[in-house]
Amino acid sequence: MGIGAVGPDELQARFGIPEILRFEAGAKGLVRAVVCAPQAEAEVYLQGAHVTHYQPRGDRAVLFLSERSRFDRGAAIRGGVPIVFPWFGPKAGEPSAPMHGFARLAEWGVESATQAPDGSVTMVLGLDSESAALPNWPRPCSLRYRVVVGETLALALDVHNRGDTAISYEEALHTYLAVGDVRQVSVTGLAGARYIDKTDGMKRKLQETAFVRITDETDRVYLGTKTTCVLDDPVAGRRFTVEKSGSDATVIWNPWTAKAKAMPDFGDEEWPRMLCIETGNVADHAMTLAPGQRHEMRAMIRSLPR
């Protein structure tokens, strides 16, 4: 299931691409891949298979990364695109289990790295639940994550049930988008959808307006959503599109003031500069895979002039 828990020199010798892809020690010694494709640059930490940076040529960074991200071994990185698996939020009945699951904390292995004729770079990372001895999850399964860095950032998470009984899980690509001022942005693509409002006692509500606007702490799980979301950012003068497949839920999240101050790995005044639009299968849309079955969830993130 790929090479994990090894140094950057060995990874560079096997998977490096001269002037295009290198492996190095990143923040606090965590191994990262640095991609310098013709169309864009990116950084991917092997801990969590975590994309922390993506920036198209001639544009600004697409992803928000907190200045207080800890980059401690075995701790989640705040920002970028964390992988949520196999539960969303706290695990029911197990308060000691890690928030949002173990995938964003584990060391992933590198399976392959290639450059396409158009210049885009594809990395495939893997995680095996048995060899990784993952806590709180005794079920044999394999994860494969494909990251394509080009004119768009294309992400695909494949889950394979390798056991002899069915498995149920939740998953999300917890994408933090960098915005000029979250109070000025609007999101389309969710009109008419039902959502769970996690800031209001998990009440179920209807998105009655065409635009989602952020005016307070926002934590919504939109259900039955397959469409592309478009984030319009007038302050930064650009738009983001988040296109997806294999996903039936979309999460919109911003911590606002009080929650931002309560998080030690998030700056008190950083909340206006980010909005999460998460591609997922959570809550009502948790996945169940029969023995031998697999499922792929994909997200494609694009930055465009406004």
Q: Which residues are catalytic?
A: 174, 278
For residue 204, which amino acid is it? R
Residues 6+ apart with CB under 8 A from 263: 78, 255
Q: Please give the Cα distance from 246 to 233 (Å, whole number).
A: 27
Q: Please give the Cα distance from 203 to 220 (Å, whole number).
A: 10
Q: Please give the Cα distance from 11 to 153 (Å, whole number).
A: 22
Q: Phi and psi for 285 in degrees, rounded to 5?
A: -110, 25
- Computed over its alpha carbons, how large is the radius of gyration of the chain? 18
Residues in the chain, how many?
Answer: 306
